[in-house]
Amino acid sequence: MFLISDLCSLLETYLDEDQVAEVYRAYLFGAEAHEGQRRLSGEPYIYHPIAVARILAEMRLDHQSISAAILHDVIEDTPTAREQLAEKFGDEVAYLVDGVSKLTNIQEVSKAEAQAESFRKMILAMVKDIRVILIKLADRLHNMRTLTVMRPEKRRRIAAETLEIYAPIALRLGINRVRLDLEELGFAAYHPLRHRILKAAMRKVCGNRRELIEKLLNSIKTRLTREGVNAEVVGREKHLYSVYQKMKQKHIPFNEISDIFGFRIVVDSVDSCYRTLGVIHNLFKPIPGKFKDYIAIPKTNGYQSLHTALQSRYGFPIEIQIRTTDMDQVAEAGIASHWIYKSGDENGDNIAESRAREWLHGLLEMQQKAGDSLEFLESVKVDLFPDEVYIFTPTGEIMSLPSGATVVDFAYAVHTQIGDHCTAARIDGRPSPLHTVLKNGQKVRVITNDYARPNPAWLNFVTTARARTNIRNHLKTMQHDDAVELGKRLLESALAKLEHTLSSIPEERYEPLLKQLELESNNELFAEIGVGNRIAPLIARSLIQEHDDQSPAPEDEGAPSLLSIRGTEGSVVKFAKCCRPIPGDPIFGFLTAGRGIVVHTQNCKNVAGFQKHPHKWISINWEEQTEGEFLVDLRVVVTNHRGVLATVAAAVATMESNIDNISLDESDGIYTTINLTIGVQNRTHLARVIKRLRRINDVLRIYRSS
């Protein structure tokens, strides 16, 4: 049993006497507040806050954090108010306690939503002060250590939450000691049988090879001493949960896991790290492709080390980690190793802290754009990826992204505006589509267009929470604003046919119509019209029927109103892929509920199907000045010569046209058909592109395929 006297003795090793006294005062307050409360184990409740405080004391956190840890449940589980804590212990301690307290006044929501909202509250507090999450992690760690008293179903739920959220957060902040404990305890609670079997298998293997591992350890120490390298060498076994994850992800049995054993070498300087690497590679044969330099390119959480895998003389591989003393401290304690409160020095130069701040700012941006707490929680889960790829920007800057990230993820990582307007990319100088999965070391240049907007299809392949959140937010805002604007124009056009305008309709005429349609505002009505849920001519007649009984009736009640489009209407005006209309083509619109207007050419092969729904036709034309880029399909028949595809692509590029997609039909050995989807401004621009392509000797025929 760890008592308050033990805690104070530990604190006295690094805190001033008056600060320890302040912690003891917090203990007296907490003990009184929790008087009579007991945990499920039967022990007094105050033992839990003391244990949480001990975990933080082992990280050598400041006295305010320790006090907050002792008081972390008083707001949630006792009648104590935040204002009372602020008065007795200061605003800083009160803020930390409130940050880790669950929301207790959430009503009429599901349990999942309540938990997500409490998590969101904690994350927002953490953005302002990282100590909030450190206290929460310590709280979760002690709860996991005492989880056996819970019911089995509750144990599994808490363990799943720990493995999905809290262990990855500890990893993201580089707090390795806490992360390993959370993973081990979570694994044991969630999969108790698998944990027992795997632990027994590990114990058997380690027992059989213990003597060999000791010989390898002595060999490494002897060689380093001979080469004059002053180093601390320790052996280690692969973390049990890591072994399980590797078996699960690679679908391999335990006996095929090769890197169970490893050694950590801690030296005094970066130069010694690289020198030690040379010594080790001379001692054992390195395994190709297994070297990683996290010193030159640190991990997202600031972790730095050299990793290499070697083939031992006994037939099994071993992993070696080489790092400095400071790097070792960061690797074990992460952000906690550099968070200096006592002096007020924020030590902004250290990598762990700067990376943590970047992540926290990203979380803040995510929560501002997330639709609700559940969406925010899912975004945070997506963002907690341990595996990374490192990408170079055109200026040589290195950016880290989750494994599996695409060009769109990279674009949003650079800047939100670049992500919103990206159209394509050049990877290592070669044109590449937006869905391309990036690989380590690639140099990426994103191509943007001011008229481009996020595409809903991007959500099918992006991996980062930042990209996903920004795309969703933009689509929601864009679709609503576009729908309102289009609805206004459709209604204005319908009213013009009845010799009225929007400005001529009194505001009070909207009220009964909005009530009838169960809408709250004029903008909601316009949006309903814009997305095709309401027919503009019918709404127009409803608005004027009592306002002007002498209004001329339309010549044809089903006749559609005329609308001019310019190409910037956004997601509520879509251009059909079956015919690919571009400015200059004769067009008509088809109103689709929930989607807005789909634009077709008048000679579209699908026009016959629309004749069954004449009330959904919209008469539209192009404005004189259109904006943006419009996709069109071309089929280019060429002689099958080497390099002809590159020649065609270069010719399209010289005419300031982007290639959205390209494919080849099967060749007969003499001729090949290149299918191009290109972006043009209008028919005139398309004619110039075709004229340029016809000047290529290998091009035999060109025609528009839609």
User: Which residues does the annotation mark as catalytic?
Assistant: 76-77
**Residues 514, 519, 525: CA angle, nearest 5 degrees:** 75
382 vs 399: CA distance, rounded Å: 18
Listed residue (503, 616, 611, 600) closest to 558, CA to CA:
616
576 vs 579: CA distance, rounded Å: 6
Residue 459 burial class via C-beta count within 10 angstroms: exposed 0-12, middle 13-18, buried 19 and up? middle
Beta-carbon contacts of residue 516 (< 8 Å; ≥ 6 apart): none
Q: How far, in Å, are 9, 63, 93, 125 from residue 342 at the CA level?
A: 19, 9, 15, 21
Confirm if 701 and 684 have CB atoms less than 8 A apart.
no
107-117 CB burial, b ≥16 within 10 A, e <16: eeeeeeebbbb
The tokens describing 249, both together, are 């992800």
Q: How far, in Å, are 166, 171, 185, 337 from residue 163 at the CA level?
A: 6, 11, 9, 23
Amino acid occupying residue 353? E
Which H or E element spans position 85?
helix 82-89
Confirm if 29 and 88 have CB atoms less than 8 A apart.
yes
Query: Can you give 205-245 as a three-state secondary structure string?
Result: HHHHHHHHHHHHHHHHHHHHHHCCCCCEEEEEECCHHHHHH
Length of the chain: 706
Amino acid occupying residue 60? R
536 vs 495: CA distance, rounded Å: 9
Which H or E element spans position 112?
helix 111-128
Q: How far, in Å, are 128, 213, 350, 480 from residue 366 at the CA level?
A: 15, 47, 25, 20
Beta-carbon contacts of residue 702 (< 8 Å; ≥ 6 apart): 634, 635, 636, 637, 690, 693, 694
645 vs 144: CA distance, rounded Å: 61
121 vs 132: CA distance, rounded Å: 11
**Residues 177, 305, 287: CA angle, nearest 5 degrees:** 115
β-strands 261-267, 317-324: how paired?
parallel
Confirm if 67 and 26 have CB atoms less than 8 A apart.
yes
Q: Compute the half-sphere exposure of residue 275: CA atoms within 13 Å on the CB side of its CA.
A: 16
Q: How far, in Å, are 148, 355, 474 from residue 189 at the CA level?
A: 8, 32, 41
Beta-carbon contacts of residue 655 (< 8 Å; ≥ 6 apart): 685, 688, 689, 692
Phi, psi for 443 (deg, rounded to 5): -105, 120
Provide the 3-class DSSP secondary structure of residue 443.
strand
